[in-house]
Structure formats: structure tokens, C-alpha cells
Amino acid sequence: MANSNALENLNPHVSVDCVVFGFDFGKLNVLLIERNMRFEGAEYHDLKLPGDLVRKDEDLDTAAARVLKELTGLDHIYLKQFSAIGSPTRLVRRSRDMEWLRSIGHPEEIVVTVAYYSLINIDQDKASRFILQSNARWCAVSELNELAFDHLSILQQALGVLRTDLMLKPIAYELLPKKFTLGQLQQLYEVILGSKLDKRNFRKKLANMPYIVRINEKQVDVSHKPARYFTFSRKGYLKTRKDSF
Amino acid sequence: MANSNALENLNPHVSVDCVVFGFDFGKLNVLLIERNMRFEGAEYHDLKLPGDLVRKDEDLDTAAARVLKELTGLDHIYLKQFSAIGSPTRLVRRSRDMEWLRSIGHPEEIVVTVAYYSLINIDQDKASRFILQSNARWCAVSELNELAFDHLSILQQALGVLRTDLMLKPIAYELLPKKFTLGQLQQLYEVILGSKLDKRNFRKKLANMPYIVRINEKQVDVSHKPARYFTFSRKGYLKTRKDSF
């Protein structure tokens, strides 16, 4: 296994990078790798996306899954390719990034990276599924203002794709419990869109989504007025998609 | 210019390929390059997508525009990246493909390609804008059953993206004249989707598209009953997109 990552088995010009978003009802997180290095006499501790060169004997999807598992411990995560990025200067803007590449034995300056993204629910009750390796950690997207190489730009691009997908595809319902309140649904949109939404407008828009079905059940054991539960009808959703053409 | 494409200026492991769809009201076409070669004593004339290696000093979007112009003559075409493809065996399945790569001085067996697509209107009155180089030509998508390398698979993937985009984005209206009949709109959908649609169902679905606006004008000088003209309201369209969240 170790030898498979030897330089002669790698394509020196192509890498994969993974943007794994971790949703909880409080905030949107992204999975990053701590990078600890010495450069020009100083210690650096910064963060990067999980990514590495592609092997010559594997396809891109396989490489993304392998690299994510090797660097973070996460396995069986659905990764969607969203962009290839190949600006000739993307790796060489900062000298400490170049120094780090040399230190791990990757001397090439021109590497096209193929970027993948994923969205998983890391709410507390499910967190045990996602035990991370020691230098991988979840970071709040809203608190990041610098990453290694062009990784902040890749993260922002992934965020754009995620937000578009949220509008066009039923991904919200994969994150919610089977029955949910409209308050929970609004909170989910707010976390992913990164902004507060007006409750009245939000409910008005929901009226146009016939696939959000009210069920005959309310919250119990809550201190406030119990809210009605809703569920997502995949059949109803597919019907609206068919109609939308 | 000629020297910029010398092997030392190219990234030997990364290429771009362009799937340019040419729409006319009769059929959906794709722009291909004729490849003429001798292999094992026989002449081959087959077809490939316009594509080539990326230079080390250009980004991927620039490479796609450059390669398309160099190989076909088409310039100022909006190209959208839709996929990176990196199966390790994608170039080496057929020995004549390998022989051809060696003959043009590209000996690498592992090349990840970044695929772009575009859709342009090549209806007769506009055809003069699109004068092609001698070995480039428009081919009916429905008549293709073999292309060089994995290019048929790349074409099919592009077709899937185009059909999804047709459902989700207002690309239909960029192909239609400013005022159009519902018959023309249906024909456009049929050409791109590659199948006949039921007229009554089609009209019923249009009722859900408030951004298709009836105007107070009918066809003139036609032998059949003159049809009503419609137009596309971008403002109305953007409003429905906002509501769809």
C-alpha cells in the first residue's frame, strides 16, 4: 500500500481536492487538514483541503475517495466532482506553499486539481460515524479567511455549487429527520445559505412546494406551542420536476 | 505562436476537449474533426472531438478557447466546463488511437481531459458567422455510433448536461428568435431532447411557465392558420427562480 503512493506511481500533474461540508443545525462546517511546518525559521500551522496527487492506475472518482479516506479517515462518502482548476500560478503564489510541496517530495509547479464536494449531516447523535484522524478537523465555514494554496477559492466555489444545488435538488431532505418542523427546515436553509430568512416570506415560498406534506402529528414535550410535523414526498417532488420542463 | 505548442511548453498529462452543439430547427449537431491516418496498411477516416494538450502557461478555460479556435476556426464561443475525465485506460483501448498519438508526438498514455460544452444556433441565416476549417464539420448527433478514444462517451455525457440545463435554465430562449410560436418552442425541445413530445401535454406544461408571454401579434403570410407569437420575459423568469427556493 505504502509503495502505491511512490512518486513513480503518481501522475505528477493531476491532483484531487475534497470539500466535505458537515452540516449541523448550528452552522456549516468544512473538513480541513492541519498543516504544521517550519519555514524561514518560523513555525506555521495553517489549514488545507484534503487532497493529493492521482495515481496513474486509478480514475478520478477513485482517487478522491482514496485520498479523503487516507487523510481524514472518512469512508463511504458520496463525492461529487464539481470543477477542474488549472491556473498556472495556483500553487506558486506563496513561497511557503512551494517549500511544503518540496518537503513532501512533490516538486511540480503545474498541477491541475479536480475538485469534489460532499454534504453530510454531522449532528451530534450521528457524530460517532465520523471519527477523524488526528490532524483532520471540522471548521466553521464562516470563520475561515485563509487556506493553503488556492483552497479558499476552491471552497468558495464549492459553496456556490452547494447553494445552487440546495435550490434545485432535494438535498435538504437528506439532512432532515423523516418528520420535521417548518422551523427546522428554515434553520437548514439559513445555515447553508449563511443568512437569516424572513419567516413570512419563507412560509409563502413553501406554499409553492407541494412535495412538503403536512402530517397529522405535532411535537410533544416542548415548552413552547407544539409545532406541526411535515414530511418530504419524493414522489411529489419528482412530479414537479417533470412538470417544470 | 507555432513554438508555443512545442512539447516542452505543454502539460503532457492534461488536455481539453470541446463538445460544441450546433442547433438548427431540423436536428442537433456536434462539431467534429476528421482524422485521416494509415494504420496497419489500411486508411482510416474517423472523427474526434476538437481537443489537445493544455499549455503550461495557460488556464483551462483559455486552453479550451484556444484549442477550439486552432482546430475548427470558431472564436468567441461561450464554453462551459462540465467534467474532468481520467480513466487510466481512456486513451489506450484501441491500438490505432495510440499509434495516432505517437504520430503527432504525444507519447503519454495517461491524460486527464477536462471537457467543455457549448450550444450555438447554426440556423441557415446565421451560418456565415461559423465558417469552419477544412477538416472540421457538423455531424448529426443521432447518426454517430463511433468516435476516437472515449469521445463518444464524453459526447453522451455532454448531451446529458445539455438536456438537464434545458430543463433548469433559460437556454431555449437564447436559441429562439425574439418572438416565437409555441410550435417553434416545442420543435426546439424535441430537437434537443431527441424525441417527439405530445402537443397537448406540452401546452399544459407551458401554462406553468409565466415567463412565456403572449404578445399581441400573429404570423403573417403563412398558408396555415396563423399562430400567435410569444416572447420570453427574463424578468418573469428570474422571479420564478427566486420563488422556487
Buried b (16+ CB within 10 A) or exposed e, A59-81: bbbbbbbbbbbebbebeebebbb
Do β-strands A10-23 and A112-121 pair in parallel, antiparallel, or remain unpaired?
parallel
Cβ atoms < 10 Å from Cβ of B201: 11
How many Å apart are CA A106 and CA A101, to the nearest integer?
5
CATH class label, B172-243: mainly alpha
Cβ atoms < 10 Å from Cβ of A58: 19
Residue B1 confidence (pLDDT): 45
| pLDDT of A109 strictly over 90 | no
Residue B214 confidence (pLDDT): 93
Which residue on chain A is closest to B10 by alpha carbon? A110
Residue A128 confidence (pLDDT): 64
| pLDDT of A222 strictly over 70 | yes
Q: Is A162 exposed, middle or buried (0-12, 13-18, 19+ CB in 10 A)?
A: buried
- Residue B74 corresponds to which amino acid? L
Which residue among B14, B57, B88 places its CB closest to the CB of A112? Answer: B14
Residue A85 confidence (pLDDT): 97
Cell of A157: 466555489
CATH architecture of the domain B2-168 equals: Alpha-Beta Complex (3.90)
* pLDDT tens-digit map of B156-185: 999 999 998 998 888 888 889 899 999 999
| Residue ranges of domains in chain A | 2-168, 172-243
Residue A28 confidence (pLDDT): 95
Residue numbers in B near A63 (CB within 8 A):
86
Where is average pLDDT lowest: A116-120, A232-236, B30-34?
A232-236
Residue A112 confidence (pLDDT): 96
How long a stretch of residues is chain A? 245
Which residue among A11, A88, A189 places its CB closest to the CB of B57? Answer: A88
> Would you put residue B91 in left (φ > 0), alpha (ψ -120 to 50) or beta?
alpha
Cβ atoms < 10 Å from Cβ of B44: 14
Do A59 and B87 make contact, defined as CB atoms within 8 angstroms? yes
Instruction: Using alpha carbons only, give the angle A82, A65, A117 rounded to the nearest 5 degrees.
Output: 25
- Residue A35 corresponds to which amino acid? R
Residue B124 confidence (pLDDT): 63
* pLDDT tens-digit map of A38-58: 888 888 889 999 999 999 999
Mutate to test the interface with B, among A112, A166, A209 (most CBs of B within 10 A): A112
Tell whether pTM > 0.95: no
Residue B128 confidence (pLDDT): 64
- Averaged pLDDT in 10-residue chunks for chain B of 245 residues: 72 96 92 90 91 96 97 93 95 88 85 96 71 90 95 97 88 90 94 93 85 92 91 86 56
Do B112 and A205 make contact, defined as CB atoms within 8 angstroms? no
Give the H/E segment covering residue B217.
strand B212-218
- Categorize the per-residue pLDDT at A37 as very low, low, confident or very high, splitting at 50, 70 and 90: confident
Give the H/E segment covering residue B12.
strand B10-23
Residue A103 confidence (pLDDT): 87
How many Å apart are CA A200 and CA A207, to the nearest integer?
11
A114 touching chain B per CB within 8 A? yes
Q: What mean pLDDT value characterizes chain B?
A: 89
| SS3 state of residue A54 | strand
The 3-class SS string of A108-135 reads CCCCEEEEEEEEEECCHHHHHHCCCCCC
Residue A42 confidence (pLDDT): 87
What interhelical angle do A182-193 and A199-206 show, nearest 10? 110
How many Å apart are CA B61 and CA A218, to the nearest integer?
53
B239 touching chain A per CB within 8 A? no
Residue A134 confidence (pLDDT): 86
Complex-level ipTM:
0.87
- Categorize the per-residue pLDDT at A196 as very low, low, confident or very high, splitting at 50, 70 and 90: very high
Confirm if A25 and A187 have CB atoms less than 8 A apart. Answer: yes
How long a stretch of residues is chain B? 245
A152 touching chain B per CB within 8 A? no
* pLDDT tens-digit map of A137-190: 999 999 999 999 999 999 999 999 999 899 888 888 888 989 999 999 999 999
